Amino acid sequence: MEDAGMKRSFVRILAIFALICAAAACGCTGTTETTDPAASAGDEIAWNLTVTDGTQEKVLSFAEIKALPAWEGYGYAVSTVGIKYGPYTVKGVPLTTLFDLVGGFEEGDQVGISAPDGYYWVFDDEQMSGKGFVTFDENLKEKPSPDLTPILAYEFNGTAIPDGDGGPLRIVVATDEPGTITEGSAWVKWVDRIEVKRS
Ligand SMILES: Nc1nc2c(c(=O)[nH]1)N[C@H]1C(S)=C(S)[C@@H](COP(=O)(O)O)O[C@H]1N2
Ligand SMILES: [Mo]
């Protein structure tokens, strides 16, 4: 009798746990929520970023990245299949700030961003100055681009970026004002290497 009752509540707990896991894995609402206090504190996150220009190389810890001058704005992306992610408030470090650590970024240079899953994305110098991106309004109608800032983000909506959303470090093509959607393909997840390719 008591055994059956315990079994039932165990099954119920398992079912709730499975639901939570499914919701976390899905992430289809595009909102970011984390209640993990360690994740919001953020500084203990074990992750290294390599910044290089092929000659000089700097390896930065997550805490060292958070100690750099921060940039805050908005991010809103659309995937190739039309799923919208965001809008988020985003916080991170402009890529140009990172390049100051390895001799700066100059006209004609390009930027290669890599992640451990093998994804690789390139920004040209026009994009590094915030231009030359395709942008959309909330109805996914193409609209003229405001000035954009490619950043290495470590917070969405005031909390650490969960792994499922590409954290702890994700590229965001960010804006000063909400309401502009950028192409998700440039929002590299799990960034671990950023390279300036000298012209
Ligand atoms: N590391 C990494 N980042 C990535 C990708 C990827 O496969 N690996 N896919 C990109 C693409 S094509 C899109 S549209 C967005 C959102 O992809 P998702 O819907 O698979 O999360 O992440 C981008 N960042
Ligand atoms: Mo995509």
Nearest CA to ligand 1 atom 10: 185
How does DSSP assign the chain, residue by residue?
A: -HHHHHHHHHHHHHHHHHHHHHHHHH-TT-------HHHHH-TT---EEEEE-SS-EEEEEHHHHHTSPPEEEEEEEE-TTS-EEEEEEEEEEEHHHHHGGGT---TT-EEEEE-TTS-EEEE-HHHHTT-S--EE-TTS-EE----EEEEEEEEETTEEPPGGGT-SSEEEEEESSSS-EEEGGGS-SS--EEEEE--
User: What does the angle CA 119 – CA 124 – CA 127 come to, to the nearest 5 degrees?
Assistant: 100
- All structural domains of the chain, each given as residue ranges with its CATH number in brackets, are 2-197 (3.90.420.10)
pTM greater than the 0.85 cutoff: no
Q: Which residues surround ligand 2, an ion (CB under 5 A)?
A: 79-80, 185
Ligand 1, CB within 6 Å, residue ranges: 79-80, 115, 117, 119, 184-185, 187-190
pLDDT per position in the chain (199 positions), as tens?
455 555 555 455 445 444 443 545 544 444 444 444 444 455 789 999 999 999 999 999 999 999 999 999 999 999 999 999 999 999 999 999 999 999 999 999 999 999 999 999 999 999 999 999 999 999 999 999 999 999 999 999 999 999 999 999 999 999 999 999 999 999 999 999 999 999 9
φ/ψ of 143, rounded to 5, equals: -140, 160
